[in-house]
């Protein structure tokens, strides 16, 4: 089984522009996740596309392993962070997403504040901070295990093992992809 990190797009009824959401799922392939994706976003009525996805095998020098729920959990957790920020003169909120391994939310928050995005996406009237104000904001931060679909959360655990593997790249697909075109 594999962990997939996916950015979904759709224009649900009553919306004027394309909406996006992140979906994490555990399956043999992206195609095997289609029913779970449709269940995750029912307002889209199945008219969902993928803007990008990644098969997550490595993060921060850790190998990601998916095991049956009975396995012992590690002290580290896989976190998903969605930063939001503003750039002077751009009429939009910009986002940068990260996957990070750490023991606690406070550890991850300290690390994400050191990222280039966090340090550079504010300006005089919209300074960087973590709050519900303007400037750079940590819009969302979750343990990935906590935002998996319930049936996957109940069946599998994400195990993080330190690795010395030299190639720690994750397969990534970027670009519009209809669910029906998944192989």
Residues 26 and 81 reside in one and the same domain = no
Q: Verify that 44 and 88 share a domain, yes or no.
A: no
Burial letters 146-164, b for 16+ CB under 10 A, else e:
eebbeebeeebbbbbeeee
Q: Are residues 47 and 106 in the same domain?
A: no
Say whether both 88 and 160 belong to one domain: yes
What's the pLDDT score for residue 132? 41
Same domain flag for 81 and 122: yes
- Structural domains counted in the chain: 2
pTM: 0.90
Q: Are residues 9 and 63 in the same domain?
A: no
Report the phi/psi class of residue 45: left, alpha or beta, with left for phi > 0 and alpha for psi in -120 to 50.
Answer: left
Same domain, 42 and 74: no
CA angle, 137 as apex, 132 and 142 as ends, to 5°?
A: 95
Q: Tens digits of per-residue pLDDT, 4-31?
A: 999 999 998 889 999 999 999 999 999 9
Q: What range defines the domain where residue 23 resides?
A: 1-57+169-182
Same domain, 12 and 75: no
- 17 and 97, same domain (yes or no): no
Q: Among 11, 55, 10, 9, which residue's Cα sits nearest to residue 31?
A: 55
Which helix (H) or strand (E) is 89 found in, with range?
none
Predicted confidence (pLDDT) per residue in 137-156, tens digit = 566 789 999 999 999 999 99
Least confident range of 12-21, 86-95, 131-140, 163-172: 131-140
């Amino acid at each position: 089984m594999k962990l997939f990190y996916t950015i979904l797009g759709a224009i649900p009824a009553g919306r004027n522009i394309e909406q996006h959401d992140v979906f994490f799922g555990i399956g043999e392939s992206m195609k095997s996740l289609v029913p779970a994706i449709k269940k995750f976003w029912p307002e889209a009525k199945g008219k969902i596309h993928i803007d990008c996805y990644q098969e997550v095998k490595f993060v921060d020098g850790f190998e990601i392993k998916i095991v049956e729920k009975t396995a012992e959990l590690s002290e580290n957790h896989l976190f998903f962070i969605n930063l939001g920020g503003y750039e002077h003169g751009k009429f939009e909120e910009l986002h940068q997403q990260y996957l990070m391994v750490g023991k606690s939310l406070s550890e991850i928050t300290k690390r994400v504040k050191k990222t280039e995005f966090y340090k550079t996406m504010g300006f005089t009237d919209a300074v960087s901070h973590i709050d519900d104000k303007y400037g750079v904001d940590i819009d969302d931060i979750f343990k990935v295990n906590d935002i998996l679909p319930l049936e996957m959360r109940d069946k599998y655990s994400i195990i993080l093992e330190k690795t010395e593997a030299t190639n720690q790249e994750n397969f990534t697909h970027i670009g519009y992809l209809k669910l029906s075109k998944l192989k």
